[in-house]
Structure 1
Amino acid sequence: MTTDIIIYHNPECGTSRNALAMIRNAGIEPHVVEYLKTPPARALLESLIARAGMTPRALLREKGTPFAELGLGNPELTDAQVIDAMMAHPILINRPLVISPLGVKLCRPSEAVLDLIPAAQQTAFAKEDGEQVIDAAGNRIAQ
């Protein structure tokens, strides 16, 4: 299936790998952007944040990043300052960020990506940790 889906992906992240696998489980090959190698331009990042209906701080990743060292927990920082930090240190951008014809969303937990996929899941799917997300009939399992 040809559908324009873009995933800002970190292959080292299990949540990101699971979201990518669910997109592929619907028969869609997304455009994969390894954002640590190819970070989005500032204007694009600002647009994606706005389209996702979130704040820059809501997209900010703390774990495994220089969040604390940079003092990013300071509530007095402006949105522009938070985005400045993300531009300087792309690891601060939380992932996976997915763009589809159905919207833009930070897909944490990974099954949030199912809301953005305009096609049915083709087979059963379990996340890397074994949690079953899609049953054999391609239906989402209620959690």
Structure 2
Amino acid sequence: MTVTLYHNPACGTSRTVLGLIQDAGIEPEIILYLKTPPTREALVELVRQTGKPARDLLRQKGALYEELKLDAPTVTEDQILDAMAAHPELINRPIVITEKGTTLCRPAELVKDLLP
């Protein structure tokens, strides 16, 4: 099984998800998205694969979220995607992609639904 993990090693949840994947005997493809940010097009595809709005993949903690006023109800999907593309720290993590689906794994146990 191929597993892709959008990972931030500084995040405890992301490290837990990586451990759960490895415990299942899988070595995932790890994308360190802060060092190698996805393009806006890749973000659009990730959002499409989750079947949820972009806001669901938006990290809502931190000063940048507030500075950009991304909590405003008038902020559009395009504005959220533009913000995440320009500031990858706004991408919530960990995001896991397998043949079974694409999910933001918060809480970490959600990854189990994507594994064999």
SS at match of 2:37: coil
What is the match of residue 57 of structure 2?
59
**Which of 74, 77, 90 is 2:75 aligned to?**
77
| Fraction of identical pairs, as percent | 53
SS in 2 for 1:99: strand
TM-score, with normalisation over the residues of structure 1? 0.79
The whole-number CA distance in structure 2 between the counterparts of 1:25 and 1:65 is: 35
Matched residue SS, 1:7: strand
* Matching residue of 1:115: 113
**Which structure: larger Rg?**
1
Q: Which amino acid aligns with 1:84?
A: D
Aligned residue pairs: how many? 116
1:67-117 superposed Cα distances (whole Å, 9 cap, x missing partner): 001110111111000111001110100000000011000000001000001
Partner of 2:42: 44
Q: Give yes or no for contact 1:65–1:92 (8 Å, CA) kept in 2.
A: no
5+ unaligned residues in a row in structure 1: which ranges? 119-143
Which of 10, 13, 16 is the matching residue for 1:15? 13
Q: Could you say what the CA RMSD is over the residues aligned between the two structures, in angstroms?
A: 0.9
Q: TM-score, normalised by structure 2?
A: 0.97
Unaligned stretches of 5+ residues in structure 2:
none
Shift of 1:64: 2.9
The structure that is helix-richer by fraction is: 2
CA distance in 2, matches of 1:75, 1:39: 26
Inter-partner Cα distance in structure 2 for 1:64 and 1:10: 15
Kindly provide the amino acid, as one letter, of the partner of residue 52 in structure 1.
T
- Encode CA deviations 1:28-71: one digit per residue, 9 max, x unaligned: 00000010001111111111111111101111101135100111
Other-structure match for 2:100: 102
Q: Highest relative contact order (Cα 8 Å, sep 6+), 1 or 2?
A: 2
